């Protein structure tokens, strides 16, 4: 039996084992939970948000650094929290606070098996492009698109953190066989990094739109409720992945999904310009994680 055939056997058992493990994963760290509560609640008071941000000075610094970076794309520099609140408003600020608290809690230590710096950089770049595409394609809720882009590959990080041996097996398989990383995930775990987040993000209490955009970021049409956010993230991901492509091992084999263009009503003759436009937008500033350390 060759490697691929042997990896395909017992798919059902693999899925069950993976789901069981996912079910037992730890709850979100307190700070992320708190940020999530604020993100979810319409009744969040401004005072609660300021209290969370001002808990420690380094958190304020990171919120301001992110707001001022090309990732968020503010046209004016914000140097104090009060000014950031004035320019952004509380609703926008909630998204930045959520991303910073998530990044702080999940950053993890350096590993020779998985370049986390590159991974978070890709997440932030996808967040940036998702926000911009949302603004320009009439999605409206660009703050939500920002978080959706940031979270899209969270399943990859989960596999690396909690399924270490499987991660190494997937990595090895994708490197040695003519299969994409996502196919290798399905062979080893019975499911891919998008599917793995399904129950988990629900248990973590993430908003439904963010759960769906994460689960369907490779296949937006499967989001039967509203495929638009998943389509935005899908295109942002494709463009972000074209940078450093050979280094982003988990993006091996990623292909442009024409469905995303259809969802966003982008005509066939405009698609190439679309890709070029947002690729050009990345410009030279594409290394972000350093400034958030």
Least distance from Fe ion to the Cβ atom of residue 243, Å: 11
Measured from the CB atom, the residue of 92 and 237 that comes closer to Fe ion is 237
Least distance from Fe ion to the Cβ atom of residue 149, Å: 9
Measured from the CB atom, the residue of 183 and 237 that comes closer to Fe ion is 237
Count of residues touching Fe ion (by CB under 5 A):
2
Q: Which stretch binds Fe ion (CB under 5 A): 3-11, 102-110, 112-120, 147-155?
A: 147-155
CA distance 248 to 83: 37
Least distance from Fe ion to the Cβ atom of residue 153, Å: 4
Residue 92 within binding range of Fe ion, rule CB under 5 A: no
Measured from the CB atom, the residue of 64 and 195 that comes closer to Fe ion is 195
Residue 153 within binding range of Fe ion, rule CB under 5 A: yes
Select from 30, 106, 100, 35 the least CA-distant residue to 67.
100
Measured from the CB atom, the residue of 34 and 153 that comes closer to Fe ion is 153
Least distance from Fe ion to the Cβ atom of residue 289, Å: 15
Q: In the range 19-48, which residues lie near Fe ion by CB under 5 A?
A: none
Task: Please report, for residues 48, 102, 106, 121, 139, the alpha-carbon distance to residue 29 in angstroms, rounded to integers and kept in the order given.
Answer: 18, 9, 9, 21, 31
Measured from the CB atom, the residue of 219 and 226 that comes closer to Fe ion is 219
Least distance from Fe ion to the Cβ atom of residue 155, Å: 7
Binding mask 229-248 for Fe ion (x = CB under 5 A): --------x-----------
SS3 73: coil
Instruction: Give the number of other Cβ atoms within 10 Å of residue 44's Cβ.
Output: 16
Select from 249, 254, 251, 214 the least CA-distant residue to 233.
214
Least distance from Fe ion to the Cβ atom of residue 280, Å: 19
- Tokens representing 19 are 């789901």
Q: Which stretch binds Fe ion (CB under 5 A): 1-9, 28-36, 152-160, 274-282?
A: 152-160
CA distance 248 to 119: 7
Least distance from Fe ion to the Cβ atom of residue 241, Å: 5
Task: Please identify which residue in the block is written with the tokens 């979100």.
Answer: 28
Q: What are phi and psi of 275, to 5 degrees?
A: -60, -45
Mention every residue, 6+ apart, whose C-beta is less than 8 A from residue 6: none
DSSP state of 115: -
Residue 185 within binding range of Fe ion, rule CB under 5 A: no
Mention every residue, 6+ apart, whose C-beta is less than 8 A from residue 181: 170, 171, 174, 249, 250, 251, 252, 253
Measured from the CB atom, the residue of 33 and 107 that comes closer to Fe ion is 107
Site residues for Fe ion per CB under 5 A: 153, 237
């Amino acid at each position: 039996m060759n490697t691929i055939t042997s990896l395909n056997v017992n798919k059902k058992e693999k899925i069950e084992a993976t789901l069981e493990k996912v079910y037992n994963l730890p709850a979100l760290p307190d700070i992320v939970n708190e940020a999530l509560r604020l993100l979810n609640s319409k009744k969040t008071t401004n005072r609660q948000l300021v209290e969370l941000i001002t808990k420690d000075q380094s958190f304020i610094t990171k919120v301001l650094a992110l707001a001022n970076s090309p990732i968020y794309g503010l046209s004016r520099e914000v140097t104090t929290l009060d000014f950031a609140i004035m320019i952004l408003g509380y609703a926008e600020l909630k998204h930045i606070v959520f991303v910073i608290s998530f990044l702080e809690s999940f950053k993890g230590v350096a590993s020779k098996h998985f370049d986390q710096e590159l991974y978070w950089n890709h997440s932030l770049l996808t967040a940036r492009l998702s926000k911009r595409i949302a603004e320009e394609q009439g999605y409206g809720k660009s703050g939500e698109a920002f978080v959706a882009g940031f979270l899209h590959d969270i399943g990859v990080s989960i596999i690396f953190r909690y399924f270490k041996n499987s991660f190494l097996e997937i990595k090895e398989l994708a490197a040695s066989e003519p299969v994409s990383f996502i196919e290798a995930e399905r062979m080893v775990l019975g499911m891919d990094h998008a599917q793995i987040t399904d129950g988990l993000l629900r248990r973590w209490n993430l908003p439904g739109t963010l759960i769906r955009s994460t689960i369907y970021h490779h296949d937006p049409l499967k989001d039967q409720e509203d495929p638009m956010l998943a389509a935005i993230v899908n295109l942002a991901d494709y463009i972000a992945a074209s940078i450093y492509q050979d280094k982003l091992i988990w993006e091996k084999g990623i292909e442009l999904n024409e469905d995303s263009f259809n969802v966003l009503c982008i005509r066939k003759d405009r698609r190439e310009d679309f890709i070029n436009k947002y690729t050009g937008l990345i410009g030279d500033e594409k290394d972000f994680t350093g400034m958030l350390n």
